[in-house]
Structure 1
């Protein structure tokens, strides 16, 4: 057994996020585990760029209301206690609804070759984010 003390929280880079987003690393697997877990906190109206994960990503909402969108325009509105599973290779984005903070546990696996499991893409447009807030449901 090993006790891991809380890691420092960092502000996420503006190159991959719109608005203020903070991340606290929780766990980065050491072989044979490839699991990575982080607590990510979004201020109201903050969200990620489009991105995908080689081995998929699981988002467990711990506070607030999350929006998770895909290229086909589908948007899920997830609340505290809900879990959203993003399959491998699916372009998606996620963030807080425009009127609430949101926190989630982001869980993913590193690629088997040890490479970066996340491919960052272009920013979500203001129009896409606005439409997600207006039309999302679950």
Structure 2
């Protein structure tokens, strides 16, 4: 299990506050530290921290993309129709415009990534417990 203090409090960026603004789109608790929110550019940058077992709903970024730079812990990423892939610090994920996907923490680890996002998100259904519980660590 990733060291709780290292991931929860961040080595580089703090975890931020409990992610109340997007809580309806997550199973479990996440924390959000907005790093870049400049109305003159169309890209947002945030440090997102997930408690063990926390994951976001399936979602799509329209007219944009999302880059995930994994900075701590262990987690998962899955695109619709593809197998889920395990994530660890140093992994980079590129999600192209219009691709349905989800990401979140492993069952027994905190998880943290920097999200670089452009476009408008469309939040969809939660990742079912059946799908999540079948994931196996590699």
TM-score normalised by length of structure 2? 0.81
Q: Which residue of 2 aligns with 1:108?
A: 117
Asked if the contact 1:66–1:96 (Cα under 8 Å) also holds between the matched residues in 2, the reply is yes
In the alignment, is residue 35 of structure 1 matched against residue 78 of structure 2?
no
Q: Which has the larger radius of gyration?
A: 1
TM-score normalised by length of structure 1? 0.81
User: Deviating runs (4+, > 3 A) in structure 1?
Assistant: none
Instruction: Write the deviation string for residues 75-116 of structure 1: whole angstroms up to 9, x where unpaired.
Output: 11111011111111111000001110000001111x4xxxxx
Instruction: Write the deviation string for residues 100-138 of structure 1: whole angstroms up to 9, x where unpaired.
Output: 0000001111x4xxxxx110001110011112x22x65x
Asked if the contact 1:66–1:102 (Cα under 8 Å) also holds between the matched residues in 2, the reply is yes
Q: Which residue of 1 aligns with 2:4?
A: none
Q: Which residue of 2 aligns with 1:3?
A: none
Q: Which residue of 1 aligns with 2:72?
A: 63
**Which runs of 5 or more structure 2 residues have no equivalent in the other structure?**
1-13
**Which runs of 5 or more structure 1 residues have no equivalent in the other structure?**
1-5, 112-116
Asked if the contact 1:49–1:120 (Cα under 8 Å) also holds between the matched residues in 2, the reply is yes
Counterparts of 1:41 and 1:56, CA distance in 2: 20
**RMSD over aligned Cα atoms:** 1.9
Instruction: Write the deviation string for residues 8-47 of structure 1: whole angstroms up to 9, x where unpaired.
Output: 624244310000111111101332x211001000001000
